Amino acid sequence: MSEYIADRNDDDSSEDSGSYEEWIPSFCARFGHEYYCQIPSEFLEDDFNMTALALEVPLYRQALDLILDLEAVSDDEAEHGENGQPEVSRSLVEHAAEQLYGLAHARYVLTRPGLQALAEKFDRRAFGTCPRYHCGGMQLLPCGLSDTLGRQPVRLYCACCGDLYVPAQARHAQLDGCFWGTSLPGVFLQHFPELGEYVGKRPVQSYSLRVFGFGVNERAVSGARMAWLRQRPSTEEEWEEYAKCEYEMPTEVS
Amino acid sequence: MEDNMDGMTDSSDYVEMWIDLFLGRKGSEYFCDIDPDYITDRFNLINLQKTVPKFTQVIQYIVDELDETVLESMSHSRLEQLENDARKLYGLIHARYIITIKGLQKMLQKYRDADFGRCPRVFCNSQPLLPVGLHDVPGIDSVRLYCPACEDLYNPKSSRHSTIDGAYFGTSFPGMFLQAFPEIVPRHPTKTYVPKIFGFELHKQAQLARWQELQRLKLQKSLEAKNVDFSKNGGYK
Ligand SMILES: [Zn+2]
Ligand SMILES: [Zn+2]
């Protein structure tokens, strides 16, 4: 984790030496930050949206000021402060700002404008496409497996196969999943029902092992055991069985 | 394209063997080395003669037995053609070789080194993958990757692999491989994902997940009745 912070600060110092840059656009434009949306400052300025985040992030006020470019620290001060003190605290504030931005981001992406911003990124394949062959390049959505800082890296959800994947690029695979949150795919699917309709209409395709054109015997160790994972009800009988699964697992397994 | 040139200048010096140069190229990570004895045995090449022009010359080129004066007299475009034909023929021989006992052993080592990458599916826990073609005829589709844990097909992550012809691995390879090494077959993960909103599962997705779980339990029950042991390889985690 400390390497991670040091890395980010390196990036900063090069940026700081140049002309003044707004924090949010430059944070989102950083290499590896392609999954982040830009949060409008009005959202961050509204105390209601930021409720309880002060409890989760240290140096909350300074961090927020940094994000909103309200902090009037000149390059001079930052670099030549007494005993190097301001520089240390600046890197702490910077780290806190990144955490705060991430936690606010998880909230923002569940709002109407946030979902819209996410949908535009989704359309541009900003989160990549499903690596599963039969999903035919379906766009992915980021998904957290925990809503607590530092627990689980971000994963990607495919609405077509309904499965979760590790980001293809190593630079994305370690982003904190709580910055997108556990509710994101669910809220996205509810907000854009046309996505569910679209994937519902796609033909269900699957693969099974073949040797010289023949299937593998079901009793063999390598016999098919996972067809259920990609299966959808298709026959009348299966749809009846599916109806029985509405609230619980049917007790009798025939 | 630049790789093309590299391959040629070096191989004409005979500093390195063509096969080693080919395998050392970026993008050749999925291929194993084929014994020259296998390549020169006509019996193994049945029905491949028509896949490239000047078949015998291409074979000699692959195993570094083509006379240097012949190579030197070739035009630039002819050399380029020869190099491309050699790669194609090596690939087609490769598809046959990797389902022989020796070839399977070589691919086992590559599988253990995860040379074919790992399954991107979260619940497969970085399971190493196996290359597979969806066609045995070249020029139709590129190589795909088979996961022995979720039994599904994935696209290679890198574009340098996603352009390799699937026929260079063939449709039977993963099936042959897992039959030859049943100890490699993992126990399959049963965990699945259901989208949630503030902790509550989406209704439709949860219903489907229950139905799928029901299908899994039915399969297990029917196979257990046929004496399949689910606590061993090929069972469920
Ligand atoms: Zn998918
Ligand atoms: Zn898998």
Mean pLDDT of B112-130: 98
Residue spans of the domains in chain B: they are 18-184
The pLDDT score that the predictor gives to residue A16 is 47
The pLDDT score that the predictor gives to residue A197 is 93
- A242 by DSSP, 3-state: which? helix
Q: Which of B149, B206, B118 is nearest to A162 (CA)?
A: B206
Residues 6+ apart with CB under 8 A from B96: B44, B170
CA angle B187, B194, A98 (to 5 degrees): 105
Residue A242 has pLDDT above 80, yes or no: yes
A143 DSSP β-pair partners: A155
The pLDDT score that the predictor gives to residue A250 is 86
Residues 220-239, chain A, touching B (beta carbon < 8 A): 220-233, 238
- The rounded Å distance from CA B131 to ligand 2 centre is 13
The pLDDT score that the predictor gives to residue B135 is 97
- Spatial separation of the C-alpha atoms in residues A190 and B33, rounded to whole Å: 52
Say yes or no for a CB contact (<8 Å) between A221 and B182: yes
Distance from CA of A29 to the nearest CA of B (A): 24
Mean pLDDT of A53-70: 94
The pLDDT score that the predictor gives to residue B63 is 95
Q: What is the pLDDT of residues A160-207, one digit of tens each?
A: 999 999 999 999 999 999 999 999 999 999 999 999 999 999 888 999
Which domains can be identified in chain A, with CATH numbers? 21-108 (1.10.1820.10), 126-201 (2.20.25.20)
Phi, psi dihedrals of residue B136, rounded to the nearest 5°: -95, -5
Amino acid present at B107 = M
The pLDDT score that the predictor gives to residue A88 is 55
Lowest mean pLDDT among A8-17, B6-15, B67-76, B180-189: A8-17
Q: What is the pLDDT of residues B1-31, one digit of tens each?
A: 444 444 455 445 546 899 999 999 999 999 9
Say yes or no for a CB contact (<8 Å) between A196 and B204: yes
* Cα–Cα distances in angstroms (integers) from residue A11 to residues A61, A122, B181, in the given order: 23, 27, 48
CB A158 within 8 A of CB A135: yes
B174 alpha carbon, distance to own chain's centre: 8
Residues 166-195, chain A, touching B (beta carbon < 8 A): 166, 168, 182-183, 185-187, 189-190
What DSSP state is assigned to residue B142?
Answer: B
Q: Which of A127, A196, A193, A214 is nearest to A159 (CA)?
A: A196
Distance from CA of A208 to the nearest CA of B (A): 7
Residue A80 has pLDDT above 60, yes or no: no
Query: Structure tokens of A212?
Result: 């010289």
Amino acid present at A144 = G
Lowest mean pLDDT among A6-10, A240-244, B143-147, B197-201: A6-10
Q: What is the pLDDT of residues B43-73, one digit of tens each?
A: 999 999 999 999 999 999 999 999 999 999 9
Mean pLDDT of B91-95: 98
* Cα–Cα distances in angstroms (integers) from residue B165 to residues A203, B90, B129, B142, B200, in the given order: 26, 12, 17, 4, 45
Mean pLDDT of B214-234: 96
Mean pLDDT of B152-170: 97
Confidence of residue A89 (pLDDT cuts 50, 70, 90): confident
**Which chain A residues contact residue B197 at CB under 8 A?**
183, 186-187, 190
Confidence of residue A154 (pLDDT cuts 50, 70, 90): very high
Residue B143: exposed, middle, or buried by beta-carbon count in 10 A (0-12, 13-18, 19+)? buried
Say yes or no for a CB contact (<8 Å) between B175 and A210: yes
- B70 by DSSP, 3-state: which? helix
Q: Model-level pTM?
A: 0.89
Helices (H), chain B: 2-13, 18-24, 36-40, 55-62, 68-72, 76-97, 101-112, 159-162, 173-180, 203-224
Residues 103-132, chain B, touching A (beta carbon < 8 A): 120-123
What DSSP state is assigned to residue B116?
Answer: T
**Which chain A residues contact residue B214 at CB under 8 A?**
241, 245, 249-250, 253
Q: Which of A168, A231, A81 is nearest to B218 (CA)?
A: A231
Query: Structure tokens of A39?
Result: 């949060």
Residue A81 has pLDDT above 70, yes or no: no
| β A210-211/A214-215 pair status | antiparallel
Say yes or no for a CB contact (<8 Å) between B223 and A219: yes
| Helices and strands, number each (H, E), in chain A | 12, 5
**Which chain B residues contact residue A217 at CB under 8 A?**
none
Q: What is the pLDDT of residues A65-75, one digit of tens each?
A: 999 999 765 45
B205 touches chain A (CB under 8 A): yes
In CATH terms, is domain B18-184 a member of 2.20.25.20? yes
* Cα–Cα distances in angstroms (integers) from residue A115 to residues A109, A118, A194, B11, in the given order: 5, 5, 14, 56
Distance from CA of A230 to the nearest CA of B (A): 8
- Spatial separation of the C-alpha atoms in residues B30 and B17, rounded to whole Å: 18
